[in-house]
Structure 1
Amino acid sequence: MIKFSLSILVYSLLALNCVAQTGPLVTATVTLEAGAKDRDLQTILYFEGISYEKLLVNSPALVGKNYQIIINEFVKGSLTKTDVVFDSSEDEYFKLKADKLGFAVVSKVTEGNEFKISFQFDGFSAGRKYRVDAHQKDKFTLKSFFYKEAPISLAAGTKTYLLAFMTPYVRADKSEAYCEVAHSGIDPEHLYERYQIPHYFLVAIQFN
């Protein structure tokens, strides 16, 4: 089990939840597994420019809840698009019947300058496509806002940001950084103000 410093704990509990609380606050654990376990498969994914992440959200409070997967697109600091990629309330079948929710996130940028992302659940999937600038497409990457395992706070009707698909922060010396941004602890909706990242996508989950 990984031990977390106080700063990481505070970040996990506060910074990821980026809208006003609208329901009772509960604590959940999010576990991230980046890449494929099979070494040969991971080599192929890397060659093809495919990102593969597996996430598991665990809390007794999840039983009986509906959930949404939401993508927010930001351009120069302004929210330009919100997509509800999946909404479990569309059918009673999808309502959570256990204390955990697991899914995989697969993404890549195509030769046609499209960001493709797919959320793979047990027996079904949902995805979206977005246009990205041809001159920036090789700079985009998928980053998580936490380490391998972290506590997060959840409240009904509150978006919790899990991932960002973004270009890097370019420092004064022209070096580039991704993790510095993702683990900075600032509100993900304000990445442009702090890091001047012109175009990025935020992946959120919301329980209802």
Structure 2
Amino acid sequence: MKTKKLLLSILIFTLCSLQCNAQDEPGIKMTSPEIKTDKAVLDLMSWQKIGYENVEFTGKDLKGKDYYLVSKEIWDGEIKKTDTLINTTSHMLFKKAEDTLKITVMTGKESEKKLRTQFDFGRFSLENTYESLPTDDYSMRTYGRLVAIEPNKPFYAFAYILPYEKDNGKYYCAVEGSGKDIESWGKLFNIKHYILFEMCFFDRPKDEDSKTQNFTIITN
């Protein structure tokens, strides 16, 4: 019995240590924790073609940072529209990041030629619609897991894409894991339309007007 208790204590200590170490590591990491939802619900969402993803940002450099989320609509290989969905310096409702920033992302079709997205930050959520092609093949990819995330440097966290089509097959991973410049995917893989979601964790300016001014968006 004592041996079992000792092993349990060691296991708990190890798990706690791993969690603390993950938060104390320099830089910022994006992960996708396992979705803990009833299988029947997940099956229904899959049948209805509703995308659902939990993501977490952790790291020593995350705490106290402001952040923004910007959408970029790419048609025929060119950025046609850019929108700031959230900038935490712009409203008192939006708090700075703490040790962990959790976002639940849901996606789907609003209509035949419109996409719908929702980014749920816990205390608030952002819903948006976008023009699209008449297809159900769009898929949200958590691209930020593949890149090095550093404070004050913009990065692409999500990519809502169509697949690369070849020999009657449709390939998402071939695009996501290609290592090619993400803004050039349209031209390289002949993808007519996709949406990129850029994020940045940054230090708020210290001047007196910092509470109302907009952060300058820097593109990759």
Fold shared, TM-score > 0.5 on shorter chain: yes
The Cα offsets for residues 145-198 of structure 1, whole Å up to 9 and x where unpaired, read as 266xx6722131x32112211111012x23210111111121211102321111
**Which TM-score applies when normalising by structure 1?**
0.77
In structure 2, runs of 5+ residues without a counterpart are: 1-25, 203-220
Moved more, 93-102 or 122-131: 93-102
Q: 1:51 to 1:76 in 2, by over 3 A?
A: same
User: Scaled by the length of structure 2, what TM-score is found?
Assistant: 0.73
Q: Is the 8 A contact 2:67 2:97 kept in 1?
A: no
User: What's the offset of the Cα at 1:69?
Assistant: 1.1
Distance 2:115 2:192 in 1: 15
> Matched residues in 2 for 1:192 and 1:37: separation?
34
Paired position in structure 1 for 2:49:
49
Kindly indicate whether the alpha-carbon contact (under 8 Å) linking 1:140 and 1:167 is maintained by their aligned counterparts in 2: yes
Give yes or no for the alignment of 1:142 onto 2:140.
yes
Instruction: Output aligned runs, 1:169-188, within 5 Å.
Output: 169-171=164-166, 173-188=167-182
**1:71 counterpart letter in structure 2:** S
**Root-mean-square deviation over aligned CA pairs:** 2.0
Secondary structure of the corresponding residue to residue 44 of structure 1 = helix
Superposition deviation, residue 122 in structure 1? 1.3
Gaps of 5+ in 1: 1-25
Question: CA 1:146–1:93 in structure 2 vs 1: closer, same or farther (change >3 Å)?
Answer: closer
Provide the C-alpha distance between the structure 1 equivalents of 2:170 and 2:111, rounded to a whole number of angstroms.
Answer: 23
- Structure 1 residue 66 corresponds to structure 2 residue 61: no
Alignment check: 8 A CA contact 1:167 1:200 kept: yes
**Match for 2:183 among 176, 184, 189?**
189
User: 1:27: Cα distance to partner?
Assistant: 1.8
**In proportion to residue count, which structure has more strand?**
1
Kindly provide the amino acid, as one letter, of the partner of residue 181 in structure 2.
D
Q: Which residue of 1 aligns with 2:213?
A: none
Q: Which has the higher contact order (CA 8 A, sep 6+)?
A: 1
Distance 1:35 1:189, change over 3 A: farther
Which has the larger displacement, 137-146 or 178-187? Answer: 137-146
CA contact (8 A) 2:51 2:108 kept: yes
Distance 1:88 1:66, change over 3 A: same
How many percent identity over aligned positions? 24
Q: Per the alignment, do residues 97 and 104 of structure 1 end up closer, same or farther by CA in structure 2, a change over 3 Å counting?
A: closer
Deviation at 1:34, TM superposition (A): 6.5
Deviation at 1:36?
Answer: 5.4
CA drift at 1:42: 0.3
Provide the rounded CA distance (Å) in 1 between the counterparts of 2:80 and 2:54: 27
Partner of 1:189, secondary structure, is helix
Match of 2:150 in 1: 154
State the Cα deviation string for residues 99-136 of structure 1 (Å, max 9, x = none): 221111111012342100010011210121011122xx
Query: What is the alpha-carbon distance in structure 2 between the residues aligned to residue 141 and residue 191 of structure 1?
Result: 14
| Aligned residues of 2:61 and 2:151 also touching (Cα < 8 A) | no
Distance in 2 (CA, whole Å) between partners of 1:196 and 1:176 is 12
1:199 aligned onto 2:197: no
Partner of 1:7: none
